[in-house]
């Protein structure tokens, strides 16, 4: 099969290559998928750059993707052959991800794709959509609540804005960094926009909520935004933190404790089976109802994998970057 891989971490142009390598046969309870697309997420490019140790001497990157089951192992119903599926955790705790013509992995990691979904859109679900859902569903949900989505034009943020509205949030505020991103978040359903490069986020959040604050923060960078929480959090609010641009977080204890705020750390790769199953069920329902929009911003063929990684690192596109296989 044709694939992209790296054998050491570092800059994309120095370590990413494409070529031919054998495809693994499916074992018990496994399926082999002929991939059509592979999603490129920030965590994928960070891993290639060296954010986590390599699991093997060769890594095929990317955890998300979509394709068609072409072979099943013992214990998997034969009628699954030919089924359109999307993939989650394709390269989490395993070396061979979705940036290849074929991937072999446990059958439960290949949910059926709802009929309205394209292969490009299917490659956006595993990390971005599941992260957005968990950030909103955890700790009581957001029905009737005021939600602040940090990075509301990002891959996770775009889904989170939509899902917050679908889950009954009273108001959704999105932070962005450019007018184009403001338009993108507003089109997804954001009620209010804060340009964090031009405006004081804390002051604007308090003004937009008439001094009440926000009940839920969907947080892409807890280290960078920690100083805002004493000012913007409503009483007993929840900070759902899925990302940070630094390993060290400095929280102002005395003013923050007065808010009663809770911080829910989570990583989408490690969702427990029950929680993941519930999330997939809800995503499937929304997609079948055609109420969830996907933002595929750019498509790169497999041979241009380096450009795809560099585009994600630079934030070149507003929306998801997908590699077509």
Tens of pLDDT along 246-277?
999 999 999 999 999 999 999 999 999 999 99
CB atoms near residue 325 (< 10 Å):
25
- Buried b vs exposed e over 218-250: b needs ≥16 C-beta within 10 Å? bbbebbbbbebbbbbbbeebbbbbbbbeeeeee
- Buried b vs exposed e over 42-63: b needs ≥16 C-beta within 10 Å? bbbbebbbeeeeeeeeebbbbb
pLDDT at 189: 98
Q: What domains appear along the chain, each with residue ranges and CATH number?
A: 2-124+295-324 (3.90.180.10), 128-269 (3.90.180.10)
pLDDT at 62: 98
Positions of the chain with pLDDT lower than 50, given as ranges: none
d(CA 316, CA 211): 36
How much is the pTM? 0.96
pLDDT at 179: 97
DSSP state for residue 312 in the 8-state scheme: H
Tens of pLDDT along 35-59?
999 999 999 999 999 998 999 999 9
pLDDT at 93: 95
The token pair that represents 244 in the structure block: 């940070």
pLDDT at 99: 98
pLDDT at 265: 98
């Amino acid at each position: 099969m044709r694939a992209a891989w790296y054998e050491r971490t570092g800059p994309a142009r120095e370590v990413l290559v494409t070529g031919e390598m054998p495809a693994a046969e499916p074992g018990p309870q496994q399926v082999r998928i002929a991939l059509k697309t592979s999603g490129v997420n920030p965590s994928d490019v960070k891993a290639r750059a060296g954010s986590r140790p390599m699991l093997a001497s060769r890594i095929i990157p990317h955890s998300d993707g979509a394709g068609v089951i072409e072979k099943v192992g013992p214990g998997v119903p034969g009628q699954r052959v030919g089924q359109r599926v999307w993939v989650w955790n394709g390269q989490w705790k395993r070396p061979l991800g979705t940036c290849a013509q074929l991937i072999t992995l446990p059958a439960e990691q290949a949910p059926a794709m709802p009929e309205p979904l394209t292969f490009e859109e299917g490659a956006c679900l595993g990390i971005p959509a599941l992260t957005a859902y968990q950030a909103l569903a955890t700790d009581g949900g957001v029905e009737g609540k005021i939600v602040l989505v940090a990075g509301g034009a990002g891959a996770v943020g775009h889904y989170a804005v939509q899902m917050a509205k679908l889950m009954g949030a009273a108001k959704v505020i999105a932070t962005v960094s450019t007018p184009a991103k403001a338009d993108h978040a507003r089109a997804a359903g954001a009620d209010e926009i804060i340009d964090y490069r031009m405006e004081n986020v804390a002051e604007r959040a308090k003004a937009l909520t008439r001094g009440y604050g926000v009940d839920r923060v969907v947080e892409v960078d807890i280290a960078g935004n920690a100083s805002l929480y004493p000012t913007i959090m409503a009483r007993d609010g929840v900070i759902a933190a899925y990302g940070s641009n630094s390993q060290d977080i400095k929280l102002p204890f005395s003013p923050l404790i007065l808010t009663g705020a809770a911080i829910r750390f989570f990583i989408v790769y490690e969702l427990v089976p029950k929680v993941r199953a519930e999330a997939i069920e809800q995503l499937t329902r929304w997609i079948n109802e055609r109420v969830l929009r996907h933002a595929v911003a750019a498509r790169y063929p497999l041979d241009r994998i380096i450009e795809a990684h560099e585009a994600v690192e630079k934030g070149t596109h507003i929306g998801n970057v997908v590699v077509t296989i």
